[in-house]
Homo-oligomer: A and B are copies of this chain.
Amino acid sequence: MEFAYTEASLALQQRLRTFMHERVLPQNAAWERIAATGRFPSEVVEPLKQAARAEGLWNLFLPGLRAGEPGTRLSNIEYAPLAEIMGRIPWASEVFNCNAPDTGNMELLHLFAAPAQASQWLEPLLDGAIRSCFAMTEPDVASSDATNIRTTIRRDGDDYVINGRKWFITGALHPLCRFSIVMGVSDDSPDAPRHARHSMVIVPLDAKGVRIVRNVAIMNHHTPEGHCEIEYRDVRVPVSSLLGEENAGFALAQARLGPGRVHHCMRTIGQCELALDLMCDRALQRQAFGKRLSDFANVQDWIGYSRVEIDQARLFVLRAAWVMDVQGNKAAQVDVSAIKLVAAQLQTRVLDRAIQVFGAMGLTPDTPLAFLWSWGRAFRFFDGPDEVHLRTLARHELSRVKKEPGAATRYQVPPVEHEALEIAAMSAARPPEGARTAVRSTEVFQ
């Protein structure tokens, strides 16, 4: 076991930290003010993208980078601490071309795109020239069970015809967003297997019949790039828009999941670290009842708990990243459920404490806390609600124990019963001799 990052990884972390501190953070207020008008702050982001790429801080997330593709190839365990650093500012990942959902889409295209698809969509994505979105969740069915998806992808001659409604489509309002990857039912024959009925197709955002219905507020909050509701009404795309095999949508969705969840979790940990920093900084400054807040034992408790909870969660996420690197994404499936559960619940807990230390100011948009909290609450649904992950974890544990049953019996201490004791002995006004050993609190030597 070795809990230290490699020298190379530490050096890269330091470069990224410096870039964040010197280049990104000073632009944060500007970004927020423009975004507050509803417009995406391209004039802030684009120059930073060029600078980051020039410094080699580009496409850090993609282990599969091939010769000629821009960016630095890193393993999951190398990328994870970088995601944590980027995560301290919600919009920063894009500066390094490492933002969701484009990262997941690039992974997917890397694995499954035909050559023409790759040159049309993947290359400009890797260059940061365009953005994309991923249309899976639907408003009318329980998102916890993806087999419920109802959007249809029907073959009609050389086209697919798409009908349905999706929501929580992150990034659809980004000024550079050009296409969505849409998941839908492509085989509705009654005997089709539950997990072999869906396909994914690439649908340009300007295709006829695509309509962005609205930018859905999340816990009262809008982002300028949007979490949108999109209607697909008789949208036609050529059959060449199919991604991977027909009816293999589920397998594709699975392939896309693992690393993205690690990224989400590490960014979340970055947010928690920021919240802890802010909490401490504020507690050191603020007075109440003649003491600094940092001298109150309850505030100290919040700080102490936050520290140990964050540190544990980070190790947990890093181990999942390591399992992916060593054994592949599939082997890490339960680990990835576990870290998603842990990180999301951690976030709202730590953020809530930070807000409490800030007092009423913590409710306002003057600190990052209110926005981060709303993200954290939403994260408890993104990639599946807590309950689905708990169920996955429980089923995994139960099947483990089922394989080697009987622990309860092996560790049981069966009581020795006194065979001869008959109740007749009880009828006297006092308990039998032996009952004296039924002691209450006998720490007294006699």
Shortest beta-carbon distance from A367 to chain B in Å: 6
Shortest beta-carbon distance from A301 to chain B in Å: 5
Q: How large is the interface on A (under 10, 10 to 19, 20 to 34, 35 or more residues)?
A: 35 or more
Contact with B along A46-81 (1 / 0, CB 8 A): 000000000000000000000000000000010000
A168 to B391, CA, bound (A): 34
A370 to B217, CA, bound (A): 9
Tell me which residues across on chain B come within 8 A of A341, comparing CB atoms.
304, 308
Asked whether B432 lies within 8 Å of A445 as measured between CB atoms, the reply is yes
Tell me which residues across on chain B come within 8 A of A42, comparing CB atoms.
429-430
Tell me which residues across on chain B come within 8 A of A311, comparing CB atoms.
316, 338
Tell me which residues across on chain B come within 8 A of A287, comparing CB atoms.
142
Please tell me if A189 contacts chain B, counting CB pairs below 8 Å.
no
Asked whether B416 lies within 8 Å of A33 as measured between CB atoms, the reply is yes
Asked whether A145 lies within 8 Å of B288 as measured between CB atoms, the reply is yes
Contact with B along A391-413 (1 / 0, CB 8 A): 11111111011100111111111
Tell me which residues across on chain B come within 8 A of A116, comparing CB atoms.
none
Instruction: Select from chain B the residue with minimum beta-carbon distance to A274.
Output: B411
Tell me which residues across on chain B come within 8 A of A415, comparing CB atoms.
213-214, 229, 365-366, 443-444
Asked whether A36 lies within 8 Å of B305 as measured between CB atoms, the reply is no
Asked whether A205 lies within 8 Å of B356 as measured between CB atoms, the reply is no
A440-B3 CB under 8 A given contacts A206-B424, A283-B398, A413-B368:
no
Asked whether B426 lies within 8 Å of A205 as measured between CB atoms, the reply is yes
List 7 A-B pairs, minimum CB-CB distance, nearest first.
A434-B445, A365-B441, A304-B390, A300-B394, A38-B436, A304-B393, A418-B445
Q: Using A144-B288, A437-B445 as known contacts, list a sample of 12 further A-B pairs with CB atoms less than 8 Å apart, ordered by residue number in A.
A: A2-B2, A32-B413, A32-B441, A37-B446, A220-B221, A294-B398, A304-B394, A307-B396, A315-B319, A367-B408, A435-B445, A438-B442
